[in-house]
Amino acid sequence: MLLYIHFPFCRSKCAYCDFNSYAGCSDVLVFSYLTALKREIGFAGERFSEGKIDTVYLGGGTPSLLSPGEIESLFRKLSSNFKRYSPVEVTAEVNPESATEDVLLAFRDAGVDRISMGVQSLSDDNLKSIGRVHDATGARRAAERIARVFGNFSLDIIVGLPYDTPSLVRDEVRECGNLAPHVSVYELTLEEGTPLAARAERGEIWLPSEDEVAEYMELAVDVLSEAGAERYEVSNFARRGYECRHNIGYWTREEYLGLGAGAHSLVKTSKEGKALPAEIRFASPKDINAYIGGINCVGSFDDVPRAEMTALSPAEIRAESIMLGARTREGFPESLLSGRKFGRVEEFLRREKGRVSLTRRGMAVMNSVLAEIM
Amino acid sequence: MSLSHIRNFSIIAHIDHGKSTLADRLIERTGTVSSREMSDQLLDNMDIEKERGITIKLQTCRLFYNYKGEEYTFNLIDTPGHVDFTYEVSRSLAACEGALLVVDATQGVEAQTLSNVYLALDNDLEILPVINKIDLASADADGVKREIEDIIGLDTTGCPLISAKEGIGVDDVLAQIVEKLPPPGGDPAAPLKALIFDSYYDNYRGAISMVRIVDGTVKAGDRIKMFASGKTFEVVEVGVYSPGMRSVNSLSAGEVGYIAASIKNVADTAVGDTITSADRPAAAPLKGYKKVTPMVFTGVYPADGARYNDLKEALLKLQLNDASLTFEAENSKALGFGFRCGFLGLLHMEIIEERLEREFDLDLITTAPGVSYHVTKTSGEKLIIDNPTNLPPAGEIDYIEEPIVKATIYTPPEYVGQIMELCQEKRGIFIDMTYVDTSRVQMTYRLPLNEIIYDFFDSLKSRTRGYASLDYEPDGYEKSELVRLDMFINGDMCDALSLIVHKDKAYARGRGIAEKLKDAIPRQLFEIPIQAAIGGKIIARETVKALRKDVLAKCYGGDITRKKKLLEKQKEGKKRMRRVGSVEVPSEAFVSILKVGDDK
């Protein structure tokens, strides 16, 4: 079972971000949140006492804002509450400005063996335009600090930012690929309601065209491959053996438990007396106070209020398997297509050894391909 | 009721000159409706009428007016003001002895002022000019009076100067209706003769005939006969509109009202037909109306193909109240099953489409409006073509004739140049130009109707800053060099986009549509060529480039529900697309190409 822990606090909210994160919260709120989170960990430990924890991922928000003491106590809570806690990978997300040596060492001492840092760009103009707290130099220094403590870490880059040019993208991706054994490259998505989307709407910023962004992504794939990092998922690149076990678990539909505000879970249960195993997706309330209140007024995991809860039908499970599998180098079992062929769309598919994966061009237009084959 | 105390009249005016507002004031001032019930433009029942400030269907209303101690009954028949609805105007005028001609003191005589006056004169009506909007700063009552005398030849001595909006001069209008408009004639004792000037379907009472009683008397229980069909019915109710339906004991010669006789089929109450008594029939019917023929045609399709039957039901219902709407089933490869609908004009078309969408909650795709062509084949066979897809191959056509209209345009002199240029572009033939006075010019052109319905009206308005007014009437058919313009999407012809155009216009239209389609069709997995062709010869080409990027961003923290929703939305969107060959074309594309115009 994979374990995801959400820490939804940030120093400031980036202009493109629509994740479940909040800036400018009081220490009291953070404390109450951590208290509730530990209470939920306690519930989960009881409820899934037989569950073996394979990977842990502490995401955010900005988990590097946690103090060394908070880090120590959070992970102690995890290892002491899950009876079968022997993860093969423990990742923590950090941001450059808060990834101090103290914090990194505290993570290492608490059992973290993989760091994922949001660099986003190595252009100061870009960083400023999307409201990042750090500059390019800050990101480089942080990457060096991480490399001194961790052999395994990942750097995130966003392409499609306002000041991107082909040479900028080529250089920053190459630099990241040389620094880190794992790089994630995301295309900028303008999410409704974000300041960046509003500015783009008003014409205050100019963003690269769809075709340019597609070109940047192609560049990134090439440059990273030269650096020895192979694309193993639409946005993820790693040298052999450095693929993120936790994220692969999402794409292969392993069971996972998300703890914290707005965290999602996929749990496969076999209810007593029922023949069919049920697969259930559920999520906690996104709002921090709603989450804290919900946890504090119940006494067991099954009573925790959920923002959503869906039992999956066999058709949904099949659709999810295709949708998620298509993101990966390994693809999905060909049997899921029930022998169907898709005319010209086949040129975006690779059928090999009973599995179907997307070609490089297919990856770029995945949504449209999925709409044809699902 | 004594005939000498009845006045039947209409209000006629150019659009926006204040006809419906004056009607409201007359109703209000005679106390027909309490001020509590008063809402603006009382006679305009439909939401569309109120919103657009126009009258579409004619409406009638009975008013009581006390003049010098005697009570008079007024039957006011409100009429549409737009050129498309000339036919409805002529019907209501046939039920009257007089008409109030409302002229805007700031605008003067306009194109439809004149055409409505001609209609009134055709019906031997007494016309009472009323000058409206005298409260406005730019009002020029004397100038407008002069125009009415010079252009129309009506005496304006003592004519009411009013502001319907402010209620100024309304009493004067009421008094002059009594003084100047003649009472109806007719013999209440003679055999019944009632002219049906409108009919509509009421869900509870069946088909209702709106009638003017010319001779005789009718009351509930009478047996009536329709001259046209010979069918007989028993009268269930007679009544008047004041302005809501109100039953009365009887209707006699000179009166206006309605007859309900449990008539199931609205076709049995044909507008223009005469109702007589089944037991004591009149010898001959009244002079009816000539049947209107639709001038503008378009394909109307449900955006959701599954709603074809709903569309059919809706059209049938609208047709019950609007005999000028015609439709027949047609089938398009791209759009599926739909109807070829005929309308009186563009406004009529817009209004029907809007009513279908609003009152029947339908999403529609309409093809470009066209006209009806007369095609003579080399074999000598003659065809009437109102759907471009049905045009025979060029080789089989001897010649094509297109409908022509005579257009009258009123304009301030400074726009004469622009209008001439516009008419020339639209293949117009200059007939005449006269200076009405120093500030207004009347221009007459013969123009192909298919140019008028394309974008003529909008261009005229934009080139004259809204000052010019237009009226037109059919003026026969003429031979013309017309071709069929076809659009190909990825090599497949899209029948719903075919047009019949003049050969000199085909190139520009083809290029314009290709450009619009290129913008309207979203990029897809493969490159899509778009071509415009005349008889197999490609005249324009555009390409929708293949999609390069369409990917779900990161699955954050295992939250895949959002991605699932996104994909579902994408699949939902596909359902709303129309397939032309292997290409998905959004419904909006079909609509957007209708707007290829001067703005390109």
What does the pLDDT look like over A131-156, one tens digit per residue? 999 999 999 999 999 999 999 999 99
pLDDT of residue B599: 39
What's the gap in Å between the CA of A72 and the closest CA on chain B?
22
CA-closest candidate to residue A285, choices A269, A296, A271, A273: A296
- The sign of the torsion formed by the CA atoms of A303, A309, A315, A321 equals negative
List the end-to-end C-alpha distance of chain B, in Å, as a whole number.
Answer: 63
Amino acid in the structure at residue B198: D
3-state secondary structure A226-256: HCCCEEEECCEEECCCCCCHHHHHHHCCCCE
In degrees, to the nearest 5, what angle opens at C-alpha B359 toward C-alphas B355 and B362? 80
pLDDT of residue B41: 55
Query: What average pLDDT score do residues A298-309 get?
Result: 92
Reply yes or no on whether the pLDDT at A340 is more than 90.
yes
**How big is the A-B interface in CB pairs under 8 Å?**
101
Q: What percent of chain A is modeled with pLDDT above 90?
A: 90
CA distance B54 to A194: 44
What's the gap in Å between the CA of B578 and the closest CA on chain A?
15
What's the gap in Å between the CA of B571 and the closest CA on chain A?
6
Chain B residue numbers touching A261 (CB-CB < 8 A): none
Per-residue pLDDT of B21-55, as tens digits, reads 888 888 888 876 655 455 555 555 556 565 555 55
User: Is residue B575 within 8 angstroms of chain A, CB to CB?
Assistant: no
Interchain proximity A256–B564, CB inside 8 Å? no
Tokens of A122: 């190595």
Interchain proximity B561–A324, CB inside 8 Å? no
In degrees, to the nearest 5, what angle opens at C-alpha B147 toward C-alphas B141 and B152? 130
Q: H or E element: which one contains A281?
A: strand A278-283
Which of the residues B551, B556, B561, B564 would you substitute to probe the A interface, choosing the one with the greatest number of A C-beta atoms within 10 Å? B551
CA-closest candidate to residue A115, choices A107, A126, A124: A107
User: Is residue A213 within 8 angstroms of chain B, CB to CB?
Assistant: yes
In degrees, to the nearest 5, what angle opens at C-alpha B85 toward C-alphas B83 and B87? 115
Query: What average pLDDT score do residues A272-285 get?
Result: 76
In terms of DSSP bridges, do strands A2-7 and A256-259 run parallel, antiparallel, or are they unpaired? parallel
What's the gap in Å between the CA of A367 and the closest CA on chain B?
5
Query: What average pLDDT score do residues A198-222 get?
Result: 93
Chain centroid to Cα B284, Å, comes to: 32
- Residue of chain B with shortest Cα separation from A17: B556
Which of the residues B547, B548, B569, B584 would you substitute to probe the A interface, choosing the one with the greatest number of A C-beta atoms within 10 Å? B548
Reply yes or no on whether the pLDDT at A264 is more than 90.
yes
Tokens of B470: 């237009």
> What are the start-end ranges of the E strands in B414-509?
429-437, 440-448, 469-480, 482-489, 492-493, 499-502
- Residue of chain B with shortest Cα separation from A363: B551
Q: Which residues contact B304 (CB under 8 A, 6 or more apart)?
A: B363, B576
Query: What average pLDDT score do residues A327-337 get?
Result: 96
Interchain proximity A323–B526, CB inside 8 Å? no
Complex-level ipTM: 0.77
What's the gap in Å between the CA of B523 and the closest CA on chain A?
10
pLDDT of residue A242: 98
Per-residue pLDDT of chain B (600 residues; tens, 9 = 90+): 688 999 999 888 887 788 888 888 888 888 766 554 555 555 555 565 655 555 555 567 888 899 999 999 998 887 765 556 666 667 778 889 999 999 999 988 887 788 788 878 878 899 999 999 999 999 999 999 998 998 888 999 899 999 999 989 999 999 999 999 999 988 999 999 999 888 877 778 888 898 999 999 999 999 999 988 889 999 999 998 877 788 999 999 999 999 999 888 777 887 788 999 999 999 888 877 666 678 889 999 998 888 999 999 999 888 876 777 899 999 988 889 999 999 988 878 888 888 898 888 998 988 888 999 999 999 999 999 999 999 998 889 999 999 999 998 988 899 999 999 999 999 999 999 998 777 789 999 999 999 988 778 888 888 988 788 888 888 999 999 999 999 999 999 999 899 999 999 999 999 999 999 999 898 999 999 999 999 889 999 999 999 988 887 665 667 888 788 888 888 777 777 788 888 888 877 887 776 655 433
Residue with the bigger pLDDT between A21 and B584: it is: A21
**Residue range(s) of every CATH 3.80.30.20 domain in chain A:** 2-248
- Residue of chain A with shortest Cα separation from B574: A371
Interchain proximity A368–B554, CB inside 8 Å? no
pLDDT of residue B58: 56
User: Is residue A309 within 8 angstroms of chain B, CB to CB?
Assistant: no
Side-chain-side CA neighbours of residue B363 (13 Å): 9
Q: Nearest CB to A364: which of B524, B549, B558?
A: B549
What's the gap in Å between the CA of A300 and the closest CA on chain B?
23
List the end-to-end C-alpha distance of chain A, in Å, as a whole number.
Answer: 28
pLDDT of residue B263: 87
In terms of DSSP bridges, do strands B528-534 and B364-366 run parallel, antiparallel, or are they unpaired? unpaired
Q: Are the C-beta atoms of A128 and A172 separated by less than 8 Å?
A: no
Which of the residues B549, B555, B556, B574 would you substitute to probe the A interface, choosing the one with the greatest number of A C-beta atoms within 10 Å? B549
Residue with the bigger pLDDT between A248 and A51: it is: A248
pLDDT of residue B1: 60
CA distance A332 to A344: 20
CA-closest candidate to residue B49, choices B90, B74, B85, B76: B85
CA distance A352 to B279: 90
Chain A residue numbers touching B566 (CB-CB < 8 A): 367
Q: Characterize A7-32 residue by residue with b for buried, 16 or more Cβ atoms within 10 angstroms of its Cβ, and e for exposed.
A: bbbbeebbbbbbbbbbeeeeeeebeb
Query: What average pLDDT score do residues A302-316 get?
Result: 91
Which of the residues A368, A370, A372, A374 would you substitute to probe the B interface, choosing the one with the greatest number of B C-beta atoms within 10 Å? A368
For A2-248, which CATH class?
Answer: alpha beta
Q: H or E element: which one contains B585?
A: strand B583-586
Q: Are the C-beta atoms of B115 and B144 separated by less than 8 Å?
A: no
CA distance A118 to A47: 34
